[in-house]
Amino acid sequence: MYAVINSGGKQLKVTPGEVVRLEALEGNVGDKVSLENVLLVSSDDDVKVGNPVVKGVTVDGTIVEHGRGDKVTIFKFKKRKMYRRKQGHRQSFTAVRVDSIGSAAKK
């Protein structure tokens, strides 16, 4: 079983038990989180595609850690003009362990 979710403007394929890095989410380590933007759900022989989201299906997970990714260097340069700008950026993330994929009605 797997699902495709939309979080932070990115689409991710997730399976139960997997740890995924999402854009920074509110909450502390150990808190439960529920992701409602489920675009596709696939079980053994059944595939449900949302328009744009699958209604009544959520992906439940637990926050494992908060952190910042690797540094990305931005360097701008114009030849013969002595124009050089160097900038760095580290994107914040939240690591979430996917516990279950199921309907919100089960709760």
- Domains in the chain: how many in total? 1
Q: What is the pLDDT of residues 5-40, one digit of tens each?
A: 999 999 999 999 999 999 999 999 999 999 999 999
C-alpha angle with apex 67: 6 to 72, nearest 5 degrees?
85
The pLDDT of residue 106 is 55
* R_g (Cα) of the chain, nearest Å: 18
Helix (H) or strand (E) holding 7: strand 2-7
Q: What's the pLDDT at 38?
A: 96
Domain housing 65 = 2-106
The DSSP bridge partners found for residue 11 are: 6
* pLDDT tens digit sequence for 43-89: 888 999 999 999 999 999 999 999 999 999 999 999 999 999 999 99
Residue type, 28: N
Query: Do strands 38-42 and 72-78 pair parallel, antiparallel, or not at all (unpaired)?
Result: unpaired
